[in-house]
Amino acid sequence: MGDDAGRKVNLLGLTLTELESFFLELGEARFRAQQVMKWVHQRGVDDFAAMTDIAKPLRQRLAAVAEVRLPHVVYEHTASDGTRKWVLELADGARVETVLIPDGERRTLCVSSQVGCALDCKFCSTGKQGFQRDLSTAEIIGQLAIASRSDPMGAARAVSNVVMMGMGEPLLNYDQLLPALQIMLDDWAYGLSKRRVTVSTSGIVPMIDRLGEDIDVALAVSLHASNDELRDQLVPVNRKYPMAELAAACRRYLARHQSNELGRRRITMEYVMLAGVNDQPEHARQLLRYLAAVPSKVNLIPFNPFPHAPYERSSRSAILAFQKILVDAGMICTIRTTRGDDIDAACGQLVGQVEDRTRRSQRWAQQILQEREIFRRSS
């Protein structure tokens, strides 16, 4: 259960079932797992000596064989709109980001699942950093633990919603993602509602099916295009799992969890608005046709520019016109409010400024310059 041979077991990443097995192996009662989960996740205690309802000999034994190890905070800042961002350093020196977005009583934490990302979506800052490795369950939960401990004692719940929309493709780190989701939902840990935990995917069709079999959480799809030709360019994984297959997987996911909530469940379709690329009225009409058979709601996302990005944010008027076409046709369609612009709150932006081990962003910037020069000459 440890991260590496010979190291202490990091209890932060163990589900209730795994923690029960851990205590049984120590010759202790199963209920100790519930006690420790509550101390660690609800009370934010990582010192076994402070767990006062556990016998002192067991506390001493736990200190010898286990630990509660969170990522190290190397950067923390709060934007003018209240958005909070952390850059976290992991045990091997890799860095990830997590962002807490307040909106009234709703406090949404955007959690990373990988260091970098291999999918290379063309409008995404994280993808330009390349892929380094998957996060462990403890490293995923560590982001939630840090954010949950960020408010003073006695404050309302620090995190009310979790979205797996940070750095990386969650479904490509499935074996570490699933136990993390289980810990988020566990009443002895964070006790989040299954409607308040969202997994966002670029469209890994087989893993959408597996997620539906294993757990019931909200699903979001990074769609960003209204036809296969355009999506092949913006979201390259579409070449392996085209839009028709993706729509079928979404319908299967809803059917699996729809029995008690017929007509209420929807897939959230994320759609970043890129000026002159995917924001025209015809794109909106294509999107309506595509989603006709998929119970869904659309979240329009104004593009958040980053260095060397070949795209620009759609104008406000273009976004509103796009939304009107969808709404007039009966589609639920919202526009995401841009948050944290003054602290580079879009996932991967800040880490991308200080670390790029693969130098993909440098190569990509050179490619963009070459393409622009070709375009200039042809004009």
Are 151 and 191 part of one and the same domain?
yes
Catalytic entry in 20, 67, 97, 270: 97
State the first-to-last Cα distance of the chain, in angstroms, to the nearest integer: 60
Domain that holds residue 199: 72-371
pLDDT per residue, tens digit, the chain (379 aa), is: 444 445 899 999 999 999 999 999 999 999 999 999 999 999 999 999 999 999 999 999 999 999 999 999 999 999 988 899 999 999 999 999 999 999 888 999 999 999 988 887 877 776 667 789 999 999 999 999 999 998 754 455 789 999 999 999 999 999 999 999 999 999 999 999 999 999 999 999 999 999 999 999 999 999 999 999 999 999 999 999 999 999 999 999 999 987 655 557 899 999 999 999 999 999 999 999 999 999 999 999 999 887 777 789 999 999 999 999 999 999 999 998 875 555 454 444 445 444 444 455 555 455 545 544 433 443 3
Are 43 and 102 within one domain? no
User: How many domains are there within the chain?
Assistant: 2
Same domain, 104 and 205: yes
Does 58 lie in the same domain as 84? no
Q: 347 catalytic, yes or no? A: yes
CATH number of the domain bearing residue 238: 3.20.20.70
- Catalytic pick among 117, 124, 333, 347: 347
Q: Based on the domain organization, do 207 and 355 belong to the same domain?
A: yes
Is 267 within 8 Å of 304 (Cβ atoms)? no
Identify whether 3 is part of a domain: no
267 in Cβ contact with 249 (< 8 Å): no
- Residue 121 annotated to the active site: no
179 and 316: one domain?
Answer: yes
129 and 28 housed in the same domain: no
Length of the chain: 379
Q: Which of 67, 90, 115 is the last residue of a domain?
A: 67
Ranges assigned E (strand) in the chain: 9-10, 66-67, 72-78, 84-89, 95-103, 106-110, 114-116, 131-134, 161-164, 197-201, 218-222, 267-273, 296-302, 332-335
Classify residue 1: in a domain, yes or no.
no
| Cα distances (angstroms) measured from residue 335 to each of 190, 297, 312, 327 | 29, 11, 17, 12
